[in-house]
Amino acid sequence: MGIDYTQKIPNNVDLASDRRLQRALEHWQPRYLDWWNELGPEGFQANDIYLRTAINVGADGWAHFDHVKMPDYRWGIFLAKQNTERTIGFGDEFGKPVWQDVPGEHRAALRRLIVTQGDTEPASVEQQRLLGLTCPSLYDLRNLFQVNVEEGRHLWAMVYLLHAHFGRAGREEAEELLDRHSGDPDNPRILSTFNEPIDDWLSFFMFTYFTDRDGKYQLKCLAESSFDPMARTCQFMLTEEAHHMFVGETGIGRIVERTVDVMNELKTEEPESLRSAGVMDLGLLQRYINFWFSSCLDLFGADQSSNAAGYFATGIKGRPDETRFEDHICLETREVIEVPQDDTKITTIEVPTRNAMNEITRNLFVADCQRGMDRWNKTILNGGFDILLTLPSTRFRREIGSWANVSTDPTGDIISAEEFDKRQTEFMPTQEDRAYVKSLMKPVTEPGKMAGWIAAPRRGIHGQPLDFEYVKLH
Ligand SMILES: [Fe+2]
Ligand SMILES: [Fe+2]
């Protein structure tokens, strides 16, 4: 499954054997590059960046590392290896052969899923386009650009499916993926989270920790799909996605480490003293966690969903790592979910498992989010402080599902809307918090140097030293 780099569009799908498809994608390619140059990272398009490029699609050892200018990055079409024995892993068609093309009756649903996923990929590049100007180090700047070029490649992954399997409608959708823009009042991105600019690095690390992890769980569900080309596309995207998780987890981890060091130096937990020392106090980090975690929960959809039941029944979208479950039919079982009673009490109800698929995936995401929290808390504890960062309750600040518009505090206790408003500044990033974070965003571009609010990483990229020139600025 090596990748052919002699082609205009690098690929491992033997694109050259389908001239029509190849021509259509080669027609889309310059439009993509125009988009990248216009709405991709601001200010560094002519610099050499130490980037990895996929050379094959195996689980390990797939990458080649070298300095490359971002517009010259070889975006292409890379699918995980085909398993010709693969059968449908869940739902009503369990055990039958997977589909190599789209069954007519599932066309609309699959197209919708692919377009929604595809739309988030360029959206995040647009959201992050100004971040490079305030990078905390060349190491971080390189990581940002690595994430950005790979999100660009994820757009290619979805556009390939649209072009190859959805005919004219698919080609039109591919055009529209470049026409919608994050935050554009007339033609915004599909999901609202992807229309907010990400203009400070704390938000970037929160985004790669929480929002990219949502993406990881969506991809895991699609990687189970009976539509085999989509499953294989998503399997390879997941191996790229692992680096995005790493950037988020280590980014927040290094901020915590730096803060704890200064807390020890100054022997204080006082936010004011820590802020005059130029680090982010733990209360501020907690409020950012509250904000990002709660907004990502809604991306999984409603806790009771007939759409999700339909996707599962028809074999379009499974659960993350479907093989971890014993029952792949889920017709006889029920799930217990928490719902509000008269907006004053928490109670539970049972719903058919198929209708609770979003909730099942959301709960796996929550457990995964907790793992990084545990690691950051260990740093705080090892530093000698008895303070815990916590994930807010899944009932907190929801806008979709049973808990939509029920006011709770971060522990999930129901409170009145008035109390929520009054205590808002305790729960969520305040204007002062945001202004303070913004004030720290000054570029540090000397090789090996770090901004004062973040600790150095443990090691460099691909065995390179920390003071390596990850981005050549001159
Ligand atoms: Fe992505
Ligand atoms: Fe990502």
The overall longest dimension of the chain from CA atoms, in Å, is: 68
Q: How far is the CA of 150 from the centre of ligand 1 (A)?
A: 7
**Residue found under tokens 């998503």:** 234
pLDDT at 2 over 80: no
Shortest-distance ligand to the CA of residue 208 = 2
pLDDT at 1 over 70: no
The span from the CA of 5 to the CA of 139, in Å, is: 27
Q: How far is the CA of 207 from the centre of ligand 2 (A)?
A: 9
Tokens of 408: 């709770």
pLDDT at 3 over 90: no
The span from the CA of 161 to the CA of 172, in Å, is: 13
- Mean predicted lDDT score pLDDT of the chain: 96
Give residue-wise pLDDT tens across range 425-441. Answer: 999 999 999 999 999 99
The torsion angles phi and psi of 193, rounded to 5 degrees, stand at -55, -25
Give the confidence band of 30 by pLDDT, cuts at 50, 70, 90. Answer: very high
Reported as type and span, the H/E element at residue 34 is helix 19-39
For the chain, list the domains and their CATH numbers: 15-472 (1.10.620.20)
Q: How far is the CA of 474 from the centre of ligand 1 (A)?
A: 30
Give the pLDDT mean for 265-277. 97
Q: How far is the CA of 131 from the centre of ligand 1 (A)?
A: 18
Reported as type and span, the H/E element at residue 421 is helix 417-427
Q: Which residues lie near ion ligand 1 (Cβ < 5 Å)?
A: 121, 151, 154
For residue 171, give the amino acid letter. R
Give the confidence band of 211 by pLDDT, cuts at 50, 70, 90. Answer: very high
Model pLDDT, residue 472: 98
Q: How far is CA 380 from CA 50, 86, 264, 295, in A?
A: 32, 46, 10, 25
pLDDT above 90: percentage of residues in the chain? 95
Model pLDDT, residue 57: 81
Shortest-distance ligand to the CA of residue 157 = 1
The span from the CA of 45 to the CA of 289, in Å, is: 32
Q: What is the Cα gyration radius of the chain? A: 23
Q: How far is the CA of 241 from the centre of ligand 1 (A)?
A: 6
Q: How far is the CA of 256 from the centre of ligand 1 (A)?
A: 26
Model pLDDT, residue 197: 87
Q: How far is the CA of 118 from the centre of ligand 1 (A)?
A: 8
pLDDT at 19 over 90: yes
Give the pLDDT mean for 320-344. 96
Give the pLDDT mean for 165-193. 97
Q: How far is the CA of 254 from the centre of ligand 2 (A)?
A: 20
Give the pLDDT mean for 90-118. 97
Model pLDDT, residue 196: 86
Model pLDDT, residue 60: 66
**Residue found under tokens 């807010």:** 392
pLDDT at 352 over 60: yes
pLDDT at 157 over 90: yes
Give the confidence band of 315 by pLDDT, cuts at 50, 70, 90. Answer: very high
For residue 232, give the amino acid letter. R
pLDDT above 70: percentage of residues in the chain? 99
The residue ranking higher by pLDDT, 50 or 2, is 50
The residue ranking higher by pLDDT, 41 or 193, is 41
Give the confidence band of 62 by pLDDT, cuts at 50, 70, 90. Answer: confident
Model pLDDT, residue 61: 65
Q: How far is the CA of 16 from the centre of ligand 1 (A)?
A: 26
Q: How far is the CA of 448 from the centre of ligand 2 (A)?
A: 26
